[in-house]
């Protein structure tokens, strides 16, 4: 049977990984796909790197003109690994317009322009596959789109940014500051020179947007996603969380509610007894709760050349198998049929209901705790646990740490404002959300 020809756009870390894995495991992959899959064109700005990596490979053509690869008549599937928004969006749309199937690992592109891309692909009768866009080598997209299709997905909670997880794990293990650990992460290559997307939760919000769209059958709504990073976390809060039986993780959380769905990324206290709380280093994990199956956990490498290449090639195999099938009989891009996508809204962060960790610096004198608990009670916020630290020798101030039961965020924000106004409370209150994930 004729091989399926692939045009590869971009030859960075993941692009080279795809080429290497296909070259190494080509025979095994062909046995699974039913026909050979071969890269015939590579479009890249780094031609010297590509020449060196493909030396000796037969039938591979190199060019810096990525646009020509996207529409080349001898290419059946276009793999976009350039990243970013432009020219990736233009190239993907050109490939779809030319009747090419597309595989991409570009989470930002899909989170921002997925609705447009999927609509164009559906109209043209081609597939867009994107397993590599979320959680690297973990097959979470296939699990949500196919493996859990019998379920009404209730919620997703994921560690979906390896850089942030490495930083938090190292801060806990070593007691080092955020800035010191970030520098170490950059030295090891886990963090970019500009780490903003990772440490501010933007990268995780891109991935969460994609997973929520598939889980709930809704459009991509990245603009409505709430994201909060880890840059303000301190060693003290990580230590206090441990004392209370929790670990702090940067979680992406999507939860279905009667009035809409939550879409949020932020540091979160998770009980140490939960498996996801024990995911360390740069690894990823996604916890999915379905009404029939219960909670399922997916764990593995969330980035890297060959883990992501594994996901990209799995998409290539899927596209190869379905290449000649009736478009109406393929798995829909967002799991639900296009005319069944829901308009379920994203709830504003003020309407989110969860528990909270509150740390405040207060004067060590009688009546302080009574004032604080009164303010919380007036807003129907109840306390689950509390630590009041002994003041250091010679000091007249101390820390109070409270864990609340579940409450509406806007009530907690209002309570914090009132507590901070007390003359016995010093400085800003630290607030971190808490999820039991039972």
What is the enclosing helix (H) or strand (E) of 115? helix 107-124
Partners of 269 in the β-ladder = 248, 434
**Rounded to the nearest 5 degrees, what angle is found at the Cα of 144, between the Cα atoms of 140 and 150?**
145
265: closest CA among 237, 225, 305, 300?
Answer: 225
Helices 13-33 and 305-322: crossing angle in degrees, nearest 10, is: 40
Element (H, E) at 228: none
Q: How far apart are CA 329 and CA 393, in angstroms?
A: 72
CA 178, distance to chain mean position in Å, is 21
> Within 10 A of 398 (CB to CB), how many other CB atoms are there?
17
The greatest distance separating any two alpha carbons of the chain, rounded to the nearest whole angstrom, comes to 83
Per annotation, catalytic residue among 16, 100, 207, 289: 207
C-alpha separations of 277 from 109, 159, 161, 228 in Å: 30, 9, 14, 19
Phi, psi torsion values for 229, nearest 5 degrees: -95, -165
Handedness of CA 336, 437, 250, 131 (dihedral sign): negative
Tokens linked to 217: 């059958």
Helix (H) or strand (E) holding 426: strand 425-434
3-state helix, strand, coil in the chain (%, to 5): 40, 25, 35
- Helices H / strands E in the chain, number of each: 14, 17
Distance, in Å, from the CA atom of 124 to the CA atom of 117, rounded to the nearest integer, reads 11
Residue 330 backbone phi and psi in degrees, to 5: -85, 160
Asked whether the beta carbons of 405 and 329 are under 8 A apart, the reply is no
Q: Give the whole-angstrom CA distance, residue 103 versus residue 106.
A: 9
Distances (CA, A) of 420 to 354, 374, 406, 427: 21, 13, 21, 7
Active site residue 389: no
Active site residues: 207
């Amino acid at each position: 049977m004729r091989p399926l020809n692939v045009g590869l756009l971009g030859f960075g870390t993941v692009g080279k990984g795809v080429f290497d894995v296909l070259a190494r495991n080509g025979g095994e992959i062909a046995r699974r796909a039913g026909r050979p899959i071969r890269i015939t064109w590579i479009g890249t700005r780094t031609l010297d790197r590509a020449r060196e990596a493909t030396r000796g490979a037969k039938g591979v053509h190199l060019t810096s003109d990525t646009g020509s690869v996207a529409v080349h008549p001898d290419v059946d599937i276009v793999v976009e690994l350039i990243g970013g928004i432009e020219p990736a969006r233009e190239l993907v749309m050109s490939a779809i317009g030319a009747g090419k199937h597309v595989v991409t690992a570009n989470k930002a592109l899909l989170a921002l322009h997925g609705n447009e891309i999927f609509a164009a692909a559906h109209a043209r009768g081609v597939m867009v596959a994107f397993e590599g866009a979320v959680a690297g080598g973990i097959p979470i997209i296939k699990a949500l789109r196919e493996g859990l299709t019998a379920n009404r997905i209730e919620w997703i909670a994921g560690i979906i940014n390896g850089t942030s997880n490495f930083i938090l794990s190292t801060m806990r293990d070593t007691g080092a500051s955020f800035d010191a650990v970030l520098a170490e992460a950059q030295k090891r290559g886990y963090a970019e020179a500009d780490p903003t997307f990772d440490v501010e939760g933007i990268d995780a919000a891109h991935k969460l947007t994609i997973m929520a769209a598939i889980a709930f059958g809704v459009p991509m709504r990245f603009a409505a996603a709430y994201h909060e990073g880890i840059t303000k976390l301190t060693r003290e809060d990580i230590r206090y969380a441990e004392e209370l039986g929790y670990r702090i993780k940067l979680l992406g959380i999507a939860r279905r509610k009667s009035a809409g769905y939550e879409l949020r990324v932020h540091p979160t206290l998770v009980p140490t007894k939960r498996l996801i709380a024990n995911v360390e280093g740069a690894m990823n994990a996604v916890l999915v709760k379905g009404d029939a199956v219960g909670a399922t956990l997916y764990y593995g490498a969330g980035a890297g050349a060959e883990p992501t290449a594994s996901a990209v090639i799995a998409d290539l195999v899927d596209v190869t198998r379905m290449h000649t099938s009736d478009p109406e009989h393929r798995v829909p891009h967002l799991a639900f049929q296009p005319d069944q996508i829901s308009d379920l809204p994203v709830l504003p962060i003020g309407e989110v209901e969860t528990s909270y960790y509150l740390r405040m610096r207060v004067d060590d004198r009688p009546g302080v705790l009574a004032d604080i608990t009164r303010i919380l009670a007036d807003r129907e916020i109840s306390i689950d646990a509390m630590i009041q630290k002994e003041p250091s020798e010679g000091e007249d101030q101390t820390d109070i740490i409270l864990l609340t039961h579940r409450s509406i965020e806007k009530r907690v924000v209002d309570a914090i404002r009132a507590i901070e106004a007390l003359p016995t409370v010093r400085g800003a209150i630290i607030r971190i959300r808490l999820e039991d994930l039972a």
